[in-house]
Structure 1
């Protein structure tokens, strides 16, 4: 698998479809995969925080979740064909799981949001087996959730704890699992539950989804400051 080193983080250069095929193949062969969907904020945080970088280093696939990562690779003279977002992977994997009758476990979000997500999946993807779920409010030092997941052996574990919690949680427990695709998908449960509206398709095609989210949630402006810092670090990194 071709990868692009961006601030020390090895980002996959696979397309969305190639990523899906790789993950489905892993499930079909009872293998284990840890997937991170990384935007510039995540890569920058890994660059500046050694502990978090160590957790990301455990991942099998780190996708470019954001046009900033794709542009960053180009700045370094490398190529990533397209962004591969957590939400798009989530939906594509649900479709595949429905076709194949796979099992899933859902971890994260508020209880009400989680229940709406479960209802949506049951209605839209009736062949999926939901073997377990838990909201995002629990004691990290309590290994009972990880033990439950290990015992139920789901094909996919969708972790919607948000950055950086979801990557840290998966990284902490990934060695306890023998199979399954574990993927952090941020606020995807909120979108599926109808609590948050995703940007219209035209905004997505123009790679302006970040701007749409900022307009809808102005409080995100502080997080957006990571982008110019990311670009500055890239220029410094390029000079090495």
Structure 2
């Protein structure tokens, strides 16, 4: 599957990001639904790019995506350093929230996959309360037999406009990539821990932290157990500088 040929791309460590704003990305995906054209969206942060850079099988999953968007200030800064600036972050959570707004406006249907059962129930309650025009055609928590076809069958039968997959990387990209060809329609997008945030289980960084590009630090303070994952940031920076040096030499 390919994006439109005239889409501007920015390649970072082998991963091609679409050069687009959040608002225009949301409009693009709404158009996919209206025209009944399916799409696979990856929201990639530095950790995902590094993993794709070092894992050939996972890179193949990413390459199947129609769109890869910059989920993380590290990607935006990396693009700047490489002389190929991206307009802004287009994160999984921001797209999720904007697509819920659009789905409520256009009366779209959605399917939710991921998180713990209690978090999933809270997520559905919030969506039902705040977005009454959305039809939730189905859902399943993130704990299931990978080879079980029950979820696939339900999505094929219900034909949701959006399938929000919150399994975390690399599972969400793998799940979508291995199945996308079997579905006739729908926008499939990996959104990490977005259900946890919407359900109130995890608090997103206050807006001031987001504007200062310190959302990653806020999450580390609130969840110290994430420190191992945060090691991806300096590793990503080293690779970016190395790539920049190669280009300039």
Which category describes the TM-score, using the shorter chain as reference length? over 0.9
Do structure 1's residue 78 and structure 2's residue 62 form an aligned pair? no
Match of 2:3 in 1: none
Offset at 1:187? 0.6
Offset at 1:236? 2.5
Do structure 1's residue 49 and structure 2's residue 55 form an aligned pair? yes
Do structure 1's residue 175 and structure 2's residue 181 form an aligned pair? yes
Match of 2:105 in 1: 99
4+ residue segments displaced more than 2 Å: 235-238
Offset at 1:205? 1.1
Offset at 1:237? 2.6
CA offsets, 1:20-55, max 9 Å, x none? 011001001000110011000000000000000000
1-side partners of 2:212 and 2:66: how far apart? 29
Match of 1:64 in 2: 70
Aligned length: 240
2:22 to 8, 13, 16: 16
Match of 1:214 in 2: 220
Offset at 1:7? 0.6
Q: Which structure 1 residue ranges, 5 or more long, are not aligned?
A: none
Q: Which structure 2 residue ranges, 5 or more long, are not aligned?
A: 1-6
2:32 to 3, 26, 29: 26
The correspondence of residues 159-238 of structure 1 with structure 2, limited to 5 A, is: 159-238=165-244
TM-score w.r.t. length of structure 1: 0.98
1-side partners of 2:159 and 2:79: how far apart? 36
2-side partners of 1:52 and 1:236: how far apart? 22
Offset at 1:235? 2.4
1-side partners of 2:223 and 2:53: how far apart? 26
Do structure 1's residue 150 and structure 2's residue 156 form an aligned pair? yes
